C-alpha cells in the first residue's frame, strides 16, 4: 500500500431482536438496544476476525453467516464477491448466540446490508431494494419475525397476502422497557422448533387470536394495563418452556416485581419482561435472583426498542504514513 493511502471501511450495526412477542408466532418482532457490529476493511486480504460473544466458536471461514448472506445477495443481483474489492471482515458480537435474541438474524441482515452497500458503490445499477433484502433475509432465516425488525427497526408485523411478503410498523409505547434475562445456556433454534406440534386444537387457536388482538390494542391505544396478568400463548411457549429450566419461577418473580407480562424471546431461552421504566431494574434483579436460585447463572439487561432502518456507513482512514 502506498504511503498516505486511505483505507476504506464499511460498517453496519444490527440490533438484537425479540420474536413472537408472545402470541404473534413467526409474524411479530421488535428491535432492541443491543448490537452486533460488522465491518469490512477494503483492500485487505480475506480474513474474519471476531470479538465479543462466542468469538471462539463463530466460523472464521466462508461458512460465516455474514459471508453467506453477502454471496446470496450478489447472486440475486447477478454479481459476485470476486468482482468486488478484497476485504477483511471484523465482527464485534454483543448479542448472545442461540439465546432467542436474533443473533443469526443480525448476521444475515448485516451481510445483506453490507453487500448491498458494495453494489451501490461499485455497480450501482445492480443495487437491490429493501423489499428484496427482506425477501432474501427471510429465505435465509426461514421466517421474517427476527429479520424484519433487524432490517427496519422498531416493532414489525410481517405477513403474506396476494402481493407477497409485506410488513407494517407496530408502535411501541415510549414508556415501555424490556428486561432480557438470558441464562448461561444455549437453546438451538432447530431443537426449539422440533418440539412444536403440527396442529393445534381450535379453542387454542381462537384464544391465540384473542391474545394477539389484545396485545395489538394495548400497544396501539396505548393502554398497557391491558397487558397485566400476562399475555398468553398456545402456539409455542408451552412446548418450549420445558426446555428452559427455571422459566416458570423466573416469570413469577418478574410479575411479582411489577412486570406487565413475560414472554419467551424467540425460541428462548431468554425471557423478556415488559415493564414500566420505574420497575425495570427491580424486575431485572428479581429475574436474575430467581434463575440463580434455580441453579443457573443469568445476565439481565434493561433494553429500549431501537427505531430506524439498519444502514451501512463508509469511513475513510489514513494509514498514518507520511507521503
Residues at the binding site for ATP are 96-106
Residues belonging to the binding site are 96-106
Residue 75, C-alpha cell as written in the block: 447472486
Q: Which residues of 55-94 are buried (b: 16+ CB within 10 A; e: fewer)?
A: eeebeeeeebbbbbbbebbbebbebebeebeebbbbbbbb
Could you tell me the sign of the dihedral formed by the alpha carbons of 132, 138, 140, 145, in that order? Answer: positive
State how far the alpha carbon of 203 is from the alpha carbons of 22, 193, 208, 209, 217, in Å: 17, 22, 9, 10, 21
Cβ-in-10-Å burial (0-12, 13-18, 19+) of 97 comes to: middle
- The DSSP result for 205-226, as a single string, is HHHHHHHHHHHHHHHHTT-GGG
Q: Phi then psi for 32, rounded to 5 degrees? A: -125, 160
Amino acid at each position: 500500500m502506498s504511503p498516505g493511502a486511505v483505507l476504506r471501511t464499511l460498517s453496519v450495526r444490527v440490533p438484537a431482536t425479540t420474536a413472537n412477542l408472545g402470541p404473534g408466532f413467526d409474524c411479530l418482532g421488535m428491535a432492541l438496544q443491543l448490537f452486533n457490529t460488522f465491518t469490512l476493511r477494503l483492500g485487505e486480504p480475506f480474513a474474519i476476525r471476531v470479538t465479543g460473544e462466542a468469538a471462539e466458536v463463530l466460523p472464521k471461514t466462508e461458512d460465516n453467516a455474514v459471508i453467506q448472506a453477502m454471496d446470496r445477495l450478489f447472486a440475486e443481483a447477478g454479481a459476485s464477491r470476486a468482482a468486488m474489492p478484497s476485504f477483511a471482515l471484523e465482527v464485534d458480537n454483543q448479542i448472545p448466540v442461540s439465546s432467542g435474541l436474533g443473533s443469526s438474524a443480525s448476521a444475515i441482515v448485516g451481510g445483506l446490508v453490507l453487500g448491498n452497500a458494495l453494489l451501490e458503490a461499485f455497480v450501482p445499477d445492480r443495487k437491490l431494494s429493501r423489499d428484496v433484502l427482506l425477501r432474501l433475509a427471510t429465505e435465509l432465516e426461514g421466517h421474517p419475525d427476527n429479520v424484519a425488525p433487524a432490517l427496519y427497526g422498531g416493532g414489525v408485523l410481517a405477513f403474506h397476502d396476494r402481493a407477497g411478503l409485506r410488513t407494517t410498523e407496530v408502535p411501541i409505547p415510549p414508556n415501555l422497557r424490556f428486561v432480557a434475562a438470558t441464562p448461561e445456556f444455549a437453546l438451538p433454534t432447530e431443537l426449539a422448533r422440533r418440539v412444536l406440534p403440527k396442529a393445534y386444537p381450535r379453542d387454542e387457536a381462537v384464544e391465540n387470536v384473542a391474545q394477539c388482538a389484545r396485545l395489538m390494542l394495548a400497544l396501539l391505544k396505548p393502554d398497557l394495563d391491558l397487558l397485566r396478568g400476562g399475555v398468553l400463548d398456545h402456539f409455542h411457549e408451552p412446548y418450549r418452556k420445558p426446555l428452559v429450566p427455571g422459566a416458570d419461577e423466573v416469570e413469577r418473580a418478574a410479575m411479582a416485581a411489577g412486570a406487565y407480562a413475560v414472554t419467551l424471546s424467540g425460541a428462548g431461552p431468554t425471557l423478556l419482561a415488559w415493564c414500566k421504566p420505574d420497575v425495570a431494574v427491580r424486575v431485572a434483579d428479581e429475574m436474575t435472583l430467581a434463575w440463580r436460585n434455580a441453579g443457573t447463572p443469568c445476565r439481565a439487561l434493561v433494553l429500549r426498542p431501537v427505531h430506524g432502518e439498519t444502514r451501512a456507513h463508509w469511513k475513510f482512514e489514513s494509514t498514518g504514513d507520511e507521503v
